Amino acid sequence: MTTRGLALRLFVVLVAGFLVIQLVPYGRNHSNPPVLAEPAWNSPATRAMAVTACFDCHSNVTTWPWYSNVAPVSWLLQRHVDEGREKLNFSTWGTARQESDDLVEKVRDGEMPTWDFMLLHPDARLSAADKAAFLAGLQATFGGGGGGGGEGGGDD
């Protein structure tokens, strides 16, 4: 077979493979369950930054972009959102267990939001000043992160 023939055959196989994986049902459940309760945000600004930087994976009001319908990206996003909601869901506050202990640390250390999310959502890349304000707001809302104090608990 000529090189051209081989390249063409490879191309056809790749396109066919791409089309076939679109048939996998996983990754297309883009339901947004109802919002039950949100944390008592210390300010609308803190909430707004959390919406931009965290809500797509940690709430029930996920914005599903067009590429969330295209495998294999859809599989990745589905897993991020399923796992994110399971650990921490700002829409089921007080009604489900939340792993919020090291929330402030995760943001301070740059672990959250995830780097791939920031790559696709430049607005989630906070400036140093915005990040400082966000951290202060998170600390005021959730406590912790200040090196001591431990569980603050809710006053509601």
Question: Which residues sit at the interface with ligand HEC, rule CB under 6 A?
Answer: 53-54, 56-58, 80, 83-84, 87-88, 99-100, 102-103, 106-107, 112-114, 117
Q: How far is the CB of 68 from ligand HEC (least distance, A)?
A: 11
* Rounded (to 5) percent helix, strand, coil in the chain: 55, 0, 45
* 83 vs 95 by CB, closer to ligand HEC: 83
Identify which of 83, 80, 55 has the alpha carbon closest to the alpha carbon of residue 67. 80
What whole-number distance in Å separates Cα of residue 134 and Cα of residue 126?
Answer: 9
Q: Which is nearer to ligand HEC, 10 or 110 (CB)?
A: 110
In the complex, least distance from residue 75 CB atom to ligand HEC, rounded to whole angstroms: 13
Q: How far is the CB of 94 from ligand HEC (least distance, A)?
A: 16
Q: Which is nearer to ligand HEC, 71 or 112 (CB)?
A: 112
d(CA 36, CA 94): 9
CB of 61 to ligand HEC, least distance (A): 13
Choice between 6 and 99, CB closer to ligand HEC:
99
The radius of gyration of the chain's CA atoms, rounded to the nearest angstrom, is 20
Six-digit token pair at 109?
Answer: 């250390």
Lookup: tokens for 95: 């009604």
